[in-house]
Amino acid sequence: MLSSKGYLSAKGTVNQIELGKDLLEYYSEELLVYLNCELKIGDNNCWLRLITSKHRSIFHPLKHILLLLFLNKSIDDIDEIKGEKYLPFGNGKYPCLNPAAEHYKQLCIDDVTLGRERNRGGKPRGLFECLLCGFSYSRIGPDNSEEDKYRYNKVINFGSVWFDKLKKLNEDGFTNKEIAKKLNVGVHTVWRYLNGFERKEIPKVSNKKVQNLKQRWLQLIEQNPTYSQNQIRNLDKGLYSSLYAIDSEWLKNNSPKSTVYSKGNKRVDWSKRDKDYLVQIKYAIEKIENLSPPQRVTLNRIENIANLSRLNKNLDKLPETNDYLSDKLESIEAFQLRRIKWAMDEIERSGEEITYSKVVMKANVYKASSNILDEIKKALGLDS
Ligand SMILES: [Zn+2]
């Protein structure tokens, strides 16, 4: 209710001063004093501040009525609004607005990062980041219609797919003006990027998103253990370019190595190395086990997270590490079961009824053996 009048920040706090001033102007000080409802703007004990904060106190009905009249709402509206979370951009998903991407206008952005405008009366501002192509944009809210979802105020980052398209169009001989039209930007932007003025811009992708991208890259490697870096890259060029732009060093360290060179016969203290590795892999495994959705605990993934390579080649010299690993590495079945448990937890948390088909879908175990599928039935009491 307060949000629709612009008194609520994106984080959900009430702009007390603005609200107080406007209320005072609306009713006049004399009237409020006469009604014994005078305002002490800026005072923590002012009734207006208390009534609009989370409160357990009871207020004179007159105070509620004054506020409601001012907000131009009837008392009937309260139930409708009570308990509703403030979502200035509605619920996800949100579209990617990168005209260079194949998924243009498709709903592939899961969530929005909320902020607040400093200069426009504290209006909410959303940051929308597409993980598929690195394109991100911001929009001042709140949204008033479904069409608002397809509007942005500013492109924060164009991303690698957009860059590639720009280069391609340029090579294909389109004029800057034509390119600008195709990519939905001003000609000056095309010019700036083509002339390398923006080359060094580091994509401002948030940490969580970067982690997600890295996770996807590691997953591709794991699913294709025999592939070279180039082959992996061809599976998802957008992902590769995003990561290359964001953290090329990481990408270098976490790609299949083409050739492994032996560095001579330096003496290695294997016992010390065993202890060091153990600490590192324990940490990595804990990290993997806490991922949601769950990821299988595999040697490859552990190596990547712990930044160790060729661990399996030396396991015979690393007894403690080896023992711990053989205990923790997950078979496909063990992983499927863990995923099923996770799926049930997730469905339960969403308040939905847990059904067999929902669990299979959420856990992504369509192709699991009948033993595994029977476990779901058992868990749901469907076995006879
Ligand atoms: Zn995109």
Q: Backbone phi, then psi, for 115, in 5-degree steps?
A: -140, -170
Same domain for 97 and 190, yes or no, is: yes
In a domain, 184, yes or no: yes
In a domain, 262, yes or no: no
Same domain for 351 and 304, yes or no, is: no
> Which stretches within the chain are classed as H helix?
16-27, 29-34, 47-51, 61-70, 77-81, 159-171, 176-183, 187-194, 207-223, 229-235, 237-253, 270-289, 299-306, 319-328, 332-349, 356-363, 370-379
Task: Print the domain residue range for 245.
Answer: 207-253
| Rounded Cα–Cα distance for residues 188 and 19 (Å) | 42
Highest mean pLDDT among 76-85, 219-228, 258-267: 219-228
pLDDT in tens, 176-211: 899 999 999 888 888 888 877 654 444 455 677 788
CA of 30 to the centre of ligand 1 (A): 57
CA of 131 to the centre of ligand 1 (A): 6
Last residue of a domain, one of 330, 346, 364: 330
Higher local confidence (pLDDT), 152 or 72: 152
Same domain for 149 and 196, yes or no, is: yes
CA of 141 to the centre of ligand 1 (A): 21
Same domain for 141 and 217, yes or no, is: no
Give how many domains the chain has, as a whole number: 5
CA of 152 to the centre of ligand 1 (A): 14
| Rounded Cα–Cα distance for residues 117 and 103 (Å) | 29
Is residue 98 within 8 A of residue 159, CB to CB? The reply is yes
CA of 338 to the centre of ligand 1 (A): 31
CA of 124 to the centre of ligand 1 (A): 23
| Rounded Cα–Cα distance for residues 80 and 1 (Å) | 10
pLDDT in tens, 235-290: 887 788 778 777 777 888 888 875 444 444 457 788 888 888 888 899 889 989 88
